[in-house]
A and B are shown apart, each in its own frame.
Chain A
Amino acid sequence: MMKQTLATSKRGKILHVQSVHTSAISAKLIEMGLYVGQEVEILFSAPFGDPIAVNVGGYVLSLRLNEAALIEVA
């Protein structure tokens, strides 16, 4: 089964970061607070569904879907 990522998750569900895929921006994503175990929730998305706004431990971060796809959640 495909792992669930932030890009494929539903709005309004409390999720936790399971892993961050290795990429050129993974260090940046972790520094923005998306470390393993962090609580996240998709708040809203832009028209066309991309980018999305995510609550990351108390602040709102906007990510493009291809960035969100790097974050595995459950």
Chain B
Amino acid sequence: MNVNKIALVGNPNTGKTSLFNALTGLNQQVGNFPGVTVDKKVGKLKLSNRSIEIIDLPGTYSIYPRSKDEEVVYDILSNPQHPDFPDAVCVVVDASNLERNLLLFTQIYALAIPIVLVLNMSDIAFRKGKKILIEKLQAEFPEATIIETNARIKSGVKQLMDTLDDGNLVRHTSPKALIAKEDVLTQQKDTEQKFKDINALIKKCVLQDNSTQTRRKVTRLDTLFVHPIWGYSIFLVVLLALFQLIFTLASFPMDLIDSLFGSLSAYLHGALPAGMFTELLANGIIPGIGGVIIFVPQIVLLFFFIGILEETGYMSRVVFIMDRIMRPFGLNGKSVVPLLSSAACAIPGVMASRTISNWKERLITILVAPLMSCSARIPVYTLLISLVIPNRMVFGFLNLQGLTFFALYALGIISALLVSVVLRMFIKTKEESVLLLELPDLKSPRWKNVGITVFDKARLFLVGAGKIIVAISIVLWALGTFGPTERIQNAVQKIEKPTSKNAVQLAAYEKQVNAVKFENSYIGILGKTIEPVIKPLGYEWKIGISLITSFAAREVFVGSMATIYSVDADGEETRSLLEKMKQEKNSDDQPVYTLASGLSLMVFYVYAMQCMATFAVVKRETKSWKWPIIQLVYMGVMAYVSSWLIFQIFS
């Protein structure tokens, strides 16, 4: 029989993903299983004359699902009519811990699907003084093909490929039906019986060298990582180093991307014939794409570092020491990674919440994740801080501007925790909150796995968030370009045309015309329409426009401001934007940007969910419109009320 479709199953931490990567390389696709949020990873194993489809099923300890996401394995393997039902199953087991791993294998063996037993991490088993007698094991499972591999050093992988190619995997026994999904009691009895059988089997098949220390000693590193003082200190240092590195290393490629897209826009403006299409391309599409790509360096770096921390096993220690602290907030130790990621971008953050099996804790994590200040807020904070916060020292050594920056981040974190407490009271669940987590041995990272994770996340961001940001950018461009023709013409005619042919004067005139056009475009009208609503917060219509354009991505605020104040936003010109904004007066001849309105605006940007890409991702992850709408509303109300309060207090 030709094997065309193979399912990879196994416990978590068995090196299943490494094996999947070793078999398929970058020929991978990430999709979704209908109804659940686990990634459906499908890869192609290229053989000499054909390819085999390999589907990487979510890691699980038992075929009987204990969480919604684990149901995928049960549903596929119990139903030969299922579209993803495989021709053969590869069960990957950790050879150094056969006992627990064989439970899943024996459950699947009984299904009579052609089966390969992959004894992975054979080197670690050897180090632990375990020798597996393959012939004896083979006698116990006569219809399984047994292969020893070490996916880390790729030994045995070739043999596995040949086995899959041969297709000499046949079953003679008839399948035993699985126990019904709901009948947990019978499942439990079956599990207990299976463990008895497995223990008897291990006595026969595994030789234990007793001279080797087999009982796991607590390693010195573990003691350090979970120490009440050292544990948290190390985590704090790791965090600081992580973000320091990300922001320093990312700034160079980000500047490069920024200027690259800037010049591309300018070039297209000059090279293409003037017209609507050129405008759309140069001012709508190109900046839209640029606005997406600019975040890639930070996301890549963040997931590179998080990938290393996860690969080495350090992250599970962080979950371990953070769990007790997060619990009173209705969160889980596992919420740390999603919240951490959200400090770069909420989109991968929300997606990282998939590891939390408890629905309530996952939901709360998703709902508060966008309160963490993401990198798109940085340009906004920077502009506003230099606008209204004096650049001086307090207490002799703290820079007031830096302090404000830090305070905005802290405000996001504290608010996320407080909102969690509130949400905890409102969201009900029958599901038990658990933290049954395997703490894998600490080890050096496998770079290929880190690389593929980074690649996956960057792709998820580009595809998931990218198309929404680009789409909204185009809509906003249209709204900012078009408007009632007569109104625009009238406004433009009011501007005095320069009489001389002086280039500087002409350029200034051009910018003024653009500003007036923008002011009278649909988006300008919209900004003016919402002015009564935002006036109590200390904002006027120009800010209103920028608040609306921020829905594509928050950092667009700066660009919009630059257009309105008819300056270029890039580089040295930011100074002229600052100057213009400082001089701005409202109808009562009072400055618009005061400490009160500036702080109010900063707080607004901390809280408001001005990110449609996050909205879309939350909709996808929660599989309903309800939660993203609740999130949009609660964050909006919080932003409005707090900004109003701040404005009232400081003015």
Contact = CB atoms under 8 A, between A and B. Distances in A.
Q: Do A and B bind each other?
A: yes
Interface of A: 23-33, 35-36, 41, 43-48, 50-51, 53, 55-64, 67
A50 B87 CA distance: 45
A63 to B, nearest CB: 6
A31 B61 contact: yes
A28 B440 CA distance: 19
Contacts of A64: 323, 434-435
B259 interface: no
A43 B218 contact: yes
B434 A28 contact: yes
19 contacts: A25-B432, A26-B188, A27-B184, A27-B191, A30-B195, A31-B64, A31-B66, A32-B61, A32-B436, A33-B99, A46-B323, A47-B227, A47-B228, A47-B324, A48-B228, A48-B324, A51-B435, A55-B216, A58-B128
Given A35-B191, A55-B216, A61 B324 contact: no
B353 interface: no
B404 to A, nearest CB: 32
Contacts of B187: 27
Interface of B: 61-62, 64, 66, 96-97, 99-100, 103, 128, 184, 187-188, 191-192, 195, 214-216, 218, 222-223, 226-228, 231-232, 316, 319-321, 323-325, 333, 431-432, 434-440
A46 B323 CA distance: 9
A51 B66 CA distance: 20
Given A26-B188, A36-B192, A67-B436, A60 B324 contact: no
Contacts of A23: 432
Contacts, number: 117
A53 B439 contact: yes
B322 to A, nearest CB: 8
Contacts of A24: 431-432
B192 A61 contact: no
B436 A63 contact: yes
B438 A35 contact: no
A36 B195 CA distance: 10
Given A36-B192, A62-B437, A67-B436, A31 B226 contact: no
Given A30-B192, A32-B61, A44 B223 contact: yes
B191 A30 contact: yes
Contact of B226 (A30, A32, A46, A63): A46
Nearest to B192: A35
Contacts of B325: 48
Contacts of A43: 216, 218, 222
Contact of B191 (A31, A44, A67): A31
A31 B323 contact: no
Nearest to B60: A31
A27 B66 contact: yes
Contacts of B321: 46-47
Nearest to A34: B436
A58 B62 CA distance: 18
Nearest to B431: A24
Contact of A61 (B128, B218, B432, B436): B436
Contacts of B333: 51
Contacts of B103: 31
A60 B432 contact: no
A62 B440 CA distance: 10
B647 to A, nearest CB: 41
A13 to B, nearest CB: 12
Contacts of A59: 97, 100, 216, 438
Given A31-B66, A45-B226, A64-B434, 5 more contacts: A25-B66, A31-B64, A44-B218, A61-B436, A67-B434
Contact of A53 (B184, B227, B320): B320
A66 B72 CA distance: 28
Contacts of B184: 27
The listed residue with most A CB atoms (<10 A of its CB), out of B61, B100, B223, is B100
Contacts of B223: 44
A58 B192 contact: no
Contacts of B324: 46-48, 50-51
Contacts of A61: 436-439
A30 B97 contact: no
Q: 3 tightest CB-CB pairs across the interface, nearest first?
A: A47-B228, A31-B62, A60-B439
A12 to B, nearest CB: 9
A38 B62 CA distance: 18
A41 B215 contact: yes
Given A27-B187, A36-B192, A46-B320, A58 B97 contact: yes
A27 B99 contact: no
Nearest to A57: B99
Contact of B99 (A26, A36, A47, A58): A58
B461 to A, nearest CB: 31
A72 to B, nearest CB: 15
B100 A57 contact: yes
A29 B333 CA distance: 19
A50 B324 CA distance: 6
Contacts of B231: 46-47
